[in-house]
Amino acid sequence: MISVQDLTKHYAGRIAVDHISFDVEPGEIVGFLGPNGAGKSTTMRVLTGFLPPSSGNVRVNGFDVFRESLDVKRSVGYMPEMAPLYTEMKVKEYLRFRGELKGLRGRNMRTRVGEVMDLCSITDVRRRLIGNLSKGYRQRVALADALLHEPPLLILDEPTSGLDPVQIRQVRELLSSLRPKHTILLSTHILQEVEQICDRVLMIHHGRLLAYDTPANLTKKLRALTQVFVEVDGKGDIAAALESLPAVRKVIEESKDGVWTRYVLRVEPGVDVRETVMKMAADKSWKLRELHRQLPSLEDVFVELAASEPVKS
C-alpha cells in the first residue's frame, strides 16, 4: 500500500527527512513514533501527495506521489494534526460540504455521510455546531471526513492528541474496527498507543529511521535491558555484592533515602534474579523494602536506539 525508497525532504537547506525507506502492507496499522521535530508530519504530508519530496521514490496505492498526486489524494484519507474544521458549520452540513469537494453526489452522498457518521459515532451530534463540540467529538468528525471517499489508506497525524483517556480509548477502538478494510499509518508520541493497536512500528529520530518492526520483536531484541530495582539497608559494599551475582551485568546506585539505597540491576535476558537477591539479603542480614523487575518497554527501545544515533549538527 505504501512504498518509500530513500525519501529525503529538505526545508530551505535543512534536512527534515533523511534517506528513509519502508513499506506498509495492505490492512496493516503502522505506528509512526518519534519526538517533536523528528520528521513524522513531513513524511506523512509527502505520502498524502501534498508535499513534494526532495528526492526518493514514494508510491501510495501504486501511484507515484509526485507524478500522480491526484490519484494519491483519492487513495488517502488524511487527518492533519490540527484538522481545519469549520466551527460555524453543523456536523452533517460540514460532511456534505466536504463530500461535495471529494466528488460525492446525490444518493451516494446521503449514504456515505450516514455511514461515516455511524462508524464514528457522531450521528447524535449531526445537527450541532462543530464549534460547540468537545475535542473528542471534533476529532471523530475529522476522522469521518477522512473516511468519506472510502480511501484504502488512512494517514492520521496524532489522532489522539489532546483527548482525555475515555476519548482516547474510543478513537483506538474505532481505528482497530477499520481494519482490515483500511490500511492505517498514524503518528503518535504515546508508546502505549503503539503497543496496543499497531502491527508494526516505525521509529524515527532526527529524520532518520531507527527501526521498523513489530512491537514484540522490538522489545525482544533489547531484552538485555531487563532491570531489577532493589532498595536495601545493609552493611558492606552492597553494589559489589549485587554485581557478583550470576546474570547481573551492571549495578547502578540510583538514589539514597536515609539508610536506604536504591539500586538498579541490569540483568541478562530471560533470567529472573529476584530470588537470588532475596537469598543474598537474608545471608548478609540486609533489610529490603523494594524488589521488583521491569521488563523492557518500547520506550526503552526508543531511548536506546536514539542514544546510539549520532546527533547531527
- Which one, 39 or 159, has the nearer CB to ligand ATP? 39
Is 190 or 239 the residue whose CB approaches ligand ATP more closely? 190
The smaller minimum CB distance to ligand ATP, of residues 117 and 209, is found at 209
Instruction: Give the DSSP letter of residue 132.
Output: G
Q: Which residue lies nearer to ligand ATP by CB, 39 or 296?
A: 39
CA distance 108 to 242: 70
With binding defined as CB under 6 A, does residue 153 bind ligand ATP? no
Q: DSSP secondary structure string, 34-86?
A: --TTSSHHHHHHHHTTSS--SEEEEEETTEETTTTHHHHHHHEEEE-TT----
Helix (H, G, I), strand (E, B) or coil at 19: strand
Q: How far is the CB of 288 from ligand ATP (least distance, A)?
A: 42
Residues 109-148 that bind ligand ATP (CB under 6 A): none
| Interface size with ligand ATP, residues (CB under 6 A) | 11
172 versus 208: smaller Cβ distance to ligand ATP:
208
User: Which of 202, 218 has the CB closer to ligand ATP?
Assistant: 202
Q: Which is nearer to ligand ATP, 85 or 203 (CB)?
A: 203
Closest approach of ligand ATP to the CB of residue 40, in Å: 3
189: its cell numbers? 508520541
248 vs 298 by CB, closer to ligand ATP? 298
Smallest separation, CB 54 to ligand ATP (Å): 12
Q: Closest distance between ligand ATP and the C-beta of residue 12, in Å?
A: 6
User: Min. distance of Cβ 158 from ligand ATP in angstroms?
Assistant: 7
Q: How far is the CB of 57 from ligand ATP (least distance, A)?
A: 19
Find the largest Cα–Cα distance for the chain.
82
Residues 40-79 close enough to bind ligand ATP by CB under 6 A? 40-42
Residue 32, beta-bridge partner list: 187, 202
Chain residues 212-271 in contact with ligand ATP, contact rule CB under 6 A: none
Three-state DSSP at 224 gives helix
**In terms of DSSP H, where are the helices of 14-60?**
40-47
Contacts of residue 74, defined as CB under 8 A and 6 or more positions apart, other chains included, come to 149, 151
How many whole angstroms separate alpha carbon 2 and alpha carbon 24? 5
The minimum distance between CB 207 and ligand ATP, in angstroms, equals 7
18, 8 Cβ separation under 8 angstroms: yes
Q: What cell does 46 get?
A: 509527502
* Per-residue interface string for the shown chain with ligand ATP, residues 1-40, x marking contact by CB under 6 A: ----------xx---x-----------------x-xxxxx
- Residue written as cell 480511501? 151
Distance separating alpha carbons of residues 300 and 124, to the nearest angstrom: 42
Q: Among candidates 222, 202, 221, which has minimal Cα distance to 212?
A: 202
CB of 8 to ligand ATP, least distance (A): 12
Beta-carbon contacts of 51 under 8 Å, excluding residues fewer than 6 positions away, are 9, 42, 45
Where is 264: in which H helix or E strand? strand 260-267
**Site of interaction with ligand ATP (CB under 6 A):** 11-12, 16, 34, 36-42
